[in-house]
Chain A
Amino acid sequence: MFETFKTAMLSLLANKSRSMLTMLGVLIGVAAVITMIAVGTGASRQMESIMSGIGSNVIMLMPGSNRQGGIQLGSGSGRQITYADAMAIKNECPSVLEVSPMVSSFTQVVLGNQNWATQTQGVTTGAFSVNVWNIAEGSFFSEADVRGATKVCLLGSTVATNLMGEGNEAGAIGQSIRINKVPFEVVGVLAPKGAQFGNDQDDVVMVPITTAMRRLVRSQIADQVRNVSIQVINADSVTAAMNEVTALMRQRRGTAEGRDDEFTIRNLAQMIESARQSSQVMALLLGAVASVSLLVGGIGIMNIMLVSVTERTREIGIRMAIGARRGDIRFQFLLEAMILSLLGGAIGILSGFGISQAITKFLGWQTEVSIYSIIISAGFSGIVGIFFGFYPAWKASLLRPIDALRAD
């Protein structure tokens, strides 16, 4: 076995450049497979983290763009959305389960001699279910806190860690912190959610929206909100909910028939789904390229092995004359084909790894080389070696000793 391996390596090394060119087909195929799966896995990981961040069946209502004399102004330039709008949507739209209106402000948070710059969000209790927040320590604030505009707050895990130190986040409960010089009592610490689009979602402080409107945010209208996340009762009702919200908003504002909405509604689940589908199409295309390349690579190996058998007919004859069985000859050539394709596969795996890293570095796409793709590629290159190496090996083994010996 080892001797056969040595023999195979020797004859492959005798034709170095030929062996390397032969490997190239499998190498490219495997590198494509690895890269394809790395990009695909990375994309779906990103989707997953976005999905878990916003919850399912969420649509987003934002101020639209305004048009002044034919000039389209940017997002947010249209009429502001109010807290009353959000409550009306919750109460009047049958397809809406919960709403989460939100205001936010960039603030300096101080606890004792520690301080931290972070975003403070004013939210209702709806935010906890719509945006899927969990509590790590303490508790959420209540509806009563929102109604009464009490000065309580929840700390995101990043903020808690920075104010209290690693491992001591629970110690923040009951402490008084100052947000833009206004004292708030910490009632809870949120469970970490991780980063999304490179933003740390846990770098946040949450206070009742009513308190934020009075104490932290300066706005043109008293109950103006930045946006409203709307949770729909189920996935099939997303379109119905969008229609209901649109109709309600137009009615509340008295928008005339034929005029543009002065707000924007986005269906995040739909956007994510279409992004996921396009990454699947991409993966499918790369997969097609990879399988064609593996096929061509395999045919290349078969071609070279047939040449090799012809070139080495005399060697086969000598080996048969001194006692090699047909199986020995077959195994020797099969092993050579397998070494070619497995080595090509191994270098392909490394190249795929490098290409994935390069894609992450230069294109900014998240990639992840999965252990599955490595196993699949290694398996595939082995199969290519066996499949395309078998015919030449079988042909070599069927040579009659006397004919093989007489060859030049």
Chain B
Amino acid sequence: MEQTDGEIIEVINLTKIYYSGTGSDVVELHALNEVNFSIKKGESVSIMGPSGSGKSTAMNMLGCLDSPTSGIYKLSGKDVSKMSSDTLADLRNRTLGFVFQGFNLLPRYNAVENVELPLVYAGVASKERRARAFHSLERVGLSNRAKHRPNQMSGGQQQRVAIARALVGDAPIILADEPTGNLDTKTSHEIMNLLTELNNEGKTVIIVTHEPDIAEYTKRVLHFRDGKLESDERKG
């Protein structure tokens, strides 16, 4: 499988159907309906749309957290739907870095322990792990908070720890699901500046948001509505 023309993500006829109800009353909900798009290495992309548009479902598919009902999702040219759960776990570990709306840090771990967790599952030795985690915290400007626990930090700081965690494994793709949803405007812009910097350093950054001024930070915006890709805008 050759990687074609730097396209790191390729989605073909991606469909996700949720079923609710039982017996003859089963209701089909097409969260995603035959969606097609591709993303090149180093792009920055916003996925927008009202709630229920399918943008979060799309994000979960891209992050290998959920599997599609039908269609093909190629990550670095490889079809994800044919992969085992262990291979998917390794993809999440090495290729994808997640940033969530609710930060999703482990409350009993301090900042540096949270950041090094992906390296634990990658089997990196303890010393190197600690060094890389510190380095990653430095990158997001939080080296002075390394021993703080999540509940001792502000929302912006927690989100930066989460970004450091997404960076620590050198994943080429950063997936951010409403990364500023729980933050005030000023902090939101700090976080977006950080993500933009990372994009400038070569990371592929994909952000789900419903705020137009957040989407402003990315060079490309995908609009979803009713499970379908409505528009695909590129700037400059």
Residues of A bordering B, CB below 8 Å: 2-3, 10-11, 14, 314-315, 317-328, 400-402, 405
Contact = CB atoms under 8 A, between A and B. Distances in A.
Interface in B75-115: 85-86, 89-90, 92-94, 98, 100, 104-106, 108
Contact of B86 (A10, A322, A326): A326
Contact of A3 (B64, B85, B94, B120): B120
B122 interface: yes
B130 to A, nearest CB: 11
B54 interface: no
A320 B89 contact: yes
A323 B65 contact: no
From B118, B126, B165, residue with most partner A Cβ within 10 Å = B118
A380 B65 CA distance: 39
Contacts of B85: 325-326
A322 B118 contact: yes
B121 A324 contact: yes
B59 to A, nearest CB: 10
B60 A322 contact: no
Given A321-B98, A322-B98, A327 B86 contact: yes
A321 B90 contact: no
B66 interface: yes
B65 to A, nearest CB: 4
Name the interface size band of chain B.
20 to 34
A321 B126 contact: no
Contact of A322 (B66, B108, B121): B121
B89 A323 contact: yes
Contacts of B93: 322-323
B169 interface: yes
Given A324-B121, A328-B89, 8 more contacts: A2-B126, A318-B104, A323-B121, A323-B122, A326-B89, A400-B65, A401-B92, A402-B60
- Nearest first, the 10 A-B pairs at minimum CB distance are A323-B93, A325-B89, A402-B66, A323-B121, A402-B65, A322-B118, A401-B65, A318-B104, A3-B120, A325-B86
From A11, A314, A324, A327, residue with most partner B Cβ within 10 Å = A324
A317 B105 CA distance: 11
5 contacts: A317-B104, A318-B105, A323-B169, A400-B66, A405-B65
From A3, A323, A326, A405, residue with most partner B Cβ within 10 Å = A323
Contact of B117 (A2, A10, A322, A327): A322
B135 to A, nearest CB: 17
Nearest to A405: B65
B63 interface: yes
B118 A323 contact: yes
Given A14-B108, A315-B106, A323 B90 contact: yes
A66 B165 CA distance: 95
Contact of B104 (A2, A321, A323, A325): A321
Contacts of A314: 104
Given A315-B106, A327-B86, A322 B65 contact: no
Given A14-B108, A402-B60, A3 B126 contact: yes
Contacts of A400: 65-66
